[in-house]
Each structure stands twice: as C-alpha cells, then as structure tokens.
Structure 1
C-alpha cells in the first residue's frame, strides 16, 4: 500500500498540497459564515425543463418580425408625410385660400371650410368693455316699435324682442294655409267632432237589426283547418239551410228503418243518456248488462267451488241461485219502472264444463301416481328387510 501511495503522489509537490488545503479552509470558512448569516448557497443551474424550453424557431420568427417592422416603417413615414401635407392644405382652405385645389376638387369636398367655429381665446385678448360706446335705445338697427299682442293689447318693445308673428305687417304679407291648425299658445279648449244628421242616420242604418241578423250560423270557410269525417257544410241562406237539414234527417230515418228491417244490432249505450225516450232504454240496457255480469260471476264461483271439492261440473240451473247472490243482485242492480226483466239464461256454460273435466282428469292422474309410489316404497322396504335378515344369519 505504501508503495502504491508513494507512486501516485510522486508527481505532486508539497506546495500544491498546501495550496489545496488553504483553498479548502477558505471554502469552509465561507460556508460557515453563510450558514450563520442565513444566506442560501448558490446551486449550479440544472438542465431546463420541458416547460422552460423555448419553442423551435422562436429566434427566427423574432428576426423576421424585426425585418417586417423595418419594411413597414417607411410606409408609416410616408403615411405621416401624406397626412401632414393634407393638414397644410386643410389649414389653407380654412383660411380662405385655394390650397392648390381646382374648382371641381373644391366642390367635391365634404367639409365646409368657409364655416369657422369660434375659437377659444385667452382672457388677455378680451377687449375692454369700458371702451365700447353704448348704443342709444332708439338705434336704427333695433328700433322700439309698437305691436299688438295676442290679447289685443298695444305694447312697445325693441323689434328684436317682438315675436315674429306679432310684427307689424307680418300677417298682411302672406297668409299661411296652416294658420288655423297651428297651436301657438296653450289652449284649454279644443273643438269636438259633431257628426251631421245624415251621418247619424247612416250609422244607425249600418247597425240596424235587419242589416245585422242575430241568427248567424257557423261558417266553416272562416277557419283553415281539417274537419271531421262527418262534417257537413250547411248553406248560409236560412231556407236552403232548413231544406238541407230536412234532407239529412230524412236520410237518417231511412237508414234506421233499413237497419231495423235487416235486424242490425245497435251498439249498447252504457251510462245515462240525456233526455228523450231513449234514456229509459239506455238505462234498461245497462241494468241487463249488470245482471248478466252478476250471473256470470255466480257461475264462476260455483265452478270453482266444485273444482276444489273434486265434484264433476253440472249444467247451470237458473233456479239454483244462492241467497247471497240474490242479495247481491238486489243491492247492485238498479231497476227502472216499466223496464222488462231479462229472461233467465238456461244454456249451459261450455267453459265451466271444460274446466271441470280438466280438473277430474288431473285428480285421476294424481291417484295413479300415488299408487305407483306406494308400490315402489313397499318393494324397497322388503328389500331392506331381506338384507337385514341375511346380516343377522351370518
């Protein structure tokens, strides 16, 4: 080890070691001072992150922008020079000079340079009012005159303060066509329109009852919409309308007679029907339907009871009605005076007979299955006894 260390340190002098040691002591002193003062150590800069990197071509684009600005700078300077030249021309025109423009160019201008608004002036340029000589009241430029006001009074005032319509000779110069309708002063009374006797008679005739009949019927042409399949447009004339209604009524009666002759069945009406002789018929049909529903319910209950007991179904007997069913009929059925009672339904119910037959077949199949299971149980029991006896014999 000693030989290797000596061989490595062979080319290093003692002064180099002393310099290195002094530099190390210096850095340690700086570190201790910085730590005591609370200063942070400067760390070497790291590699910039993705977010800190610049996009590619940023410098090239910046240089290109500088070149474009340099190109556009002469354009701005030329525009500024043109505006200054125009400003000089406008200033000359405002002062009343030609400004180098021809008559056509001057007429085509959109600005009236002859009109000059009052400019702001400093107080130092004001003229002393004490130096101005006041004019006499009877100055020729604004004399005092007499005039008659709207109330007929004669008054005196400077001409500049007299209203234009009250100046002497103003009315005699020219008569205005709209003089009667112009309101010059506040008016508290306005004329009211009063129709003449002829106009009143015309209005009364227009609104008379014979010209506006009350029996106005519905007009389908006033509505733009689809009408129903049974829609019929009657005429606006009363006589034609009545004739059409009679024809429609006759066609309806003919249809009803044809249906009755062929034995057609009308649809049953449920519930109450308003007015007429058909009201009793509608209620009677409703009662008959209710009684049929009760009878059907009674048959279903009887069939279920027989099915549970395993009894065969029999034909329904209209006389075999229980007291409960009769009581139910009496409580729920609404009888109308004079309504015919429905005839008893003596025909057997095929659905109840078929259902009872199916129940009987199911019961028979259940009995056969039970006998088979009993035979199997007996065989297994005998087999078990034989096995036990053999074990005991051994």
Structure 2
C-alpha cells in the first residue's frame, strides 16, 4: 500500500481530486485574496489606522506668532498702503529727509533754515544734552545727574569732526588727578592662563629685575656672536665650493681642448 501511495505522488503524476476538495481550495484562496485586498485597500477596504505621532518641539508653531501675523495681515489690508499715491508720498518724504540730513552733514548744524529746525530732534544750541549729562557710577546702578549750573559753566569747543566736546586742559578726575596715575601696567600675577614659551616673568624687586635684565642682555650678546660666527663659517664654506667649481670647470675645458686637438 505504501508503495502504491509512493507511486501515486511521484513527480509528474496526476493526483485525482473530487469536486468537494476543489471547492474548499477555491474558497480558501478567495478568503486569502479578500484579506490581502482589504489590507492593501485596493477594493475599497478599510485601511488600518496609523497612530498619530506627537509633533516635536521643533515642529510646533508659536500660537502667539501666528495670531500676531494674522492681525498684521488684517490691519495691513484695511489701509490702501499699496496704492501708488501712498508709495509716492513715502518716496517724497524719504527724499526730503535725505536732503535734510545731507545739509546737516555739510553745514554741521549751523546754516539750518528755521522751518527745518523745528522738525529736527537735535538741539544744536545745547551740546550738553548729548554729551555726558549722566555720570555712571559702577557702585551705584542708578545714574547720577550732574548739576545744571556746573554743566553750563563748562567750556565747549568744536573738534575736527565738528562735534562739541569739553575744552582740553580741564581736570578729568578732580584736583588730585594725574594722567600718570591712571596708567595701568601689566601684572602677570592677576592672570590664570597658560603662557607661551617666550614669556618671561620679571621679578617685582628692582635689584632682582636688574640682574635678570643683565642676564638677558648677555644671552643676547652671545646669540649675536655665535650667529655672526656661524654666518662667517657658512660664507667661507660657500667661497671654497665656488672656487672648487671653477677649478673643475677649467680642468674640463682643458680636457676638451686636448681631445679636439688630437
């Protein structure tokens, strides 16, 4: 029996099947085909809903910015700003202001007509308004206002650029102020950083600093002496090489002349 079944299912053999088996096979194929079409959504099947990912911080829109943009668009459309008359009016205003500031740049604020002076925001007669009315104190965060009488008594002159400045020669820091006292020298002890190879820290003691300076001068003299000596030896070596080249060239010419003569 086993040999008969083996012969029945050999390669190329025809297997006999009844109608019930074929119907069951067709139903199974149709079932799998319908499932496949439903998953792919080809024949109007329901697609599998995908989970909506939460947008990241970089993808979110600023609600305040969007609202402000909408209000700006609404307000800009309510006025005829894009009309030719508005554009020409703005252009005329800009040209008038450009001419005014060009006049101010050339004259320095002296030859200004009265009808234009009223439109300016700069008081040329009161230079203290734009030159140091406030004094800033680092210890006090609030500005300290100077006395108006002291400001009026100050002498103002016009510098090379045409601006009004305080007269030179006035004491800047009080009666005991000196320009030499305000010079701040370099102090390597106040810094915490890695310095280069060429950095040399001098001593704070005057005698020790003088000794260090003498040592540096001696080292410089030795370096210059050795450098000049090396340069002399190098030049001498170059001269010997040039003389040897000339001698070899003469021997070659003599050998060539004897060869031609023979």
Which structure has the larger Rg over C-alpha atoms? 1
Give the TM bin, normalised by the shorter chain. under 0.3
The TM-score with structure 2 as length reference comes to 0.27
- Higher relative contact order, chain-length normalized (CA < 8 Å, sep 6+): 1
